[in-house]
Structure 1
Amino acid sequence: MFILGPSGCGKTTLLKIIAGFIKPDSGEIKIMGKDTAELAPERRNIGYVSQSISLFPHLSVMENITFGPLCKGLDRRQREEKCFAAAKLAGALHLLERMPETLSGGEKRRVAIARALAVDPFLLLLDEPLSMLDSDARSELMKMLALIHSSGVAIIHVTHHPEEITADFAKIVKMENGKFVL
C-alpha cells in the first residue's frame, strides 16, 4: 500500500502510531483484528524503516541486521540464518562485513530494510524509503521492494512523490491534513 501526501500531512505520524511509537489521541489501531493500543512496539511483529537511516555505527552490517533477532533471544545460528535471508532479500549480502560509515545512501537503506526484515515481520513500514537517492539507486530499491512484497511481506510505503508508486502495490491512499482523502 502507498500513502501519498504532502510534507507535514501526518504520514510519518501514522506510521509511528501503527508501529507503536506514538499513542493515538483517539480511536483504535487494529492489527490482524486485535486492538494494539497497549501492545509494545517490539510485540507487534512490524518492521519499521525511518526516513533518517539510523544504523549502529559501532556495529558491522551483519551485527546491525542481527540486532533484532538477538533481542528476541535467538541463538547465534538462528540469528545468522535470519541475517542471511534478510540480507539476500534486501540485496545486501555483499555488505555484511562492512561498517556503516563505508556505505552509500542506497546501501544504508538496503541494510536498514534487511534489519527490519530479520525479525520476520508480517508488515514493513517504510517512511520515504527512496528519498535522497539518485535515479539508479531508486530504481534498484523499487525493484527490491517489489521482490519483498512478492515474498509475502505486506508493505506500507509513505511518500510525497507520485512517481514512486508502482503497480506492484494494489492500494494507494491519499492523505491531507491528517486525514485520508477519497
Structure 2
Amino acid sequence: MENIIKGKVFVLGDNIDTDQIIPAEYLTYNPAIPAEYKMFGKFALCGVPPAQAGLPKGHIPFHDATDEFISPYRIIIGGKNFGCGSSREHAPIALAAAGIQAVVAEFYARIFYRNSINGGYLLPIESKKRLVDEICTGDEVTIDIGAGLLTNHTTGDKWELAPLGEVVPIIESGGIFNYAKKVGMLK
C-alpha cells in the first residue's frame, strides 16, 4: 500500500451507484483478460448524470482526448453513500482500470467498500467533513495515509481523514485472498 497518493481529483455528488460507475451493458467484458480489463476503464463513470459529474464546476469529462482508457484523475471525492446499488464487484474494478487509486467519501455503501478492499482495487477512505463542497474537479491533492490527512495544493486547505483501521493488513496484502494466503488461511 502506498502511504502517499498524489494527483488530480474528480468530484462527484451523493448516492453515486454502481450502475453509474459501470453500467450493466459493459459487464460483458472480462476483467481477467487484459484487453477487456482496459474497457472497464474506458467506460468508468459513463453512467453518472451530468448534474453529478465534475462537481462543483458542472459537467467535466472523466476522460480526456489523449487516452480514452485512463483518466487524468487519480482520486475521486464523493459525497454520501458512494457505491450504493447492486453488489457489483465490477464498480471498483472499473475505477481502478481508469487509474483511480483512492476514493474519499463521507461514507460508502458497505458492499462497495468491502469489494474495494477485498479485491485490492483501490482505497476507500472516509472523510470527516463533506469535501464535495470544498474541493473542485481538477484540484491537485495529496493523501497522506499514515497521517490521515488530505492536502489540497490548489487552495492550501487540509482536512483530516478517518483512519483505515482493521482493513490495513488486507490492503497491504493486495486483497483478501493474498491476505488469507499470507496468514496461512489458504495454501
Q: Normalization by structure 2: what TM-score?
A: 0.30
TM-score by length of 1: 0.31
Structure with higher RCO (Cα < 8 A, 6+ apart): 1
